[in-house]
Amino acid sequence: MINKLSAKFTEKLLLRQSITEEERELYIYGFFILLSNLMYIILASLSGLLLGCFLESIVFYIAFQFIRRYAGGYHASTETRCEIISTLSIISSIIVIRLSKQYDFQNILLVVTLVSAIIIFCICPLDTPEKPLSEKEFKFFRKKSRLILIIIISVVIISYFLKLSFLIAPCCISLIFESLLLVCGKMKSRLRYFFKS
């Protein structure tokens, strides 16, 4: 859906001669990234509004996007599957954030986050067979994702001591979610390698 919309926007620019044919793929990709982010931030915001945790949903989305961009993780094989999984994952994450406001399971959340942070630190970045990382890219993405991980963990620790609960659960859930995506992505690549052998 988003890919088709991106292609339509690009076609309009081509018809107006605002871009050249050589720039077509670049613009399709750019529109795809822009529209995807816009759609998911709106989804996170609306879910947060409906569940009474708007600010937390925005914090979650921002923290998750930063770590996901550099650490990588599972990628669905089709765009439709990706949209469905992403939508369900964002809504589920915001439901957990809402439940954390209602029930006190902050200590469990912190322990799971610590385990998730270790997983992210060890596995990141995870590339895909479709877009493997060069050694230089791997080092760059590892450095960036570990830096972002440290920043998010620092926010969690500072928020815990300052009792800023609106930051704790969203940051924790962003790391837990990312670690799940990394583990699933790693398993997917191992299974692909196993079945090729």
**pLDDT at 186 (0 to 100):** 85
Confidence tier at 196 by pLDDT (50, 70, 90): low
List, for residues 38-92, the tens digit of each pLDDT value.
999 999 999 999 999 999 999 999 999 999 988 988 777 777 887 888 889 999 9
Mean pLDDT calculated for residue range 90-104: 90
**pLDDT at 54 (0 to 100):** 95
Of 101 and 197, the one with more pLDDT: 101
Of 115 and 14, the one with more pLDDT: 115
CA dihedral 15, 17, 18, 20 (to 10 degrees): 100
**pLDDT at 126 (0 to 100):** 85
**pLDDT at 11 (0 to 100):** 81
Q: What percentage of residues in the chain have a pLDDT greater than 70?
A: 95
Structural contact between residues 85 and 77, judged by C-beta atoms closer than 8 angstroms: no
Average pLDDT score over the chain: 87
- Please indicate, yes or no, whether the overall pTM of this predicted structure exceeds 0.75: yes
Q: Which residue has the tokens 């954030």?
A: 97
Residue 182 to residue 178: CA distance in whole angstroms: 6
Residue 105 to residue 20: CA distance in whole angstroms: 55
Q: Cα dist. 115→110, 112, 171 in Å?
A: 9, 5, 14
Residue 47 to residue 57: CA distance in whole angstroms: 8
**pLDDT at 28 (0 to 100):** 81
- DSSP summary character for residue 21: G
Confidence tier at 105 by pLDDT (50, 70, 90): confident
State phi, psi for 126 to the nearest 5 degrees: -110, 115
79-102 and 2-15 helices, crossing angle to 10°: 120
For the cut 90, the answer to whether the pLDDT of residue 185 exceeds it is no
Highest mean pLDDT among 33-37, 188-192, 193-197: 33-37
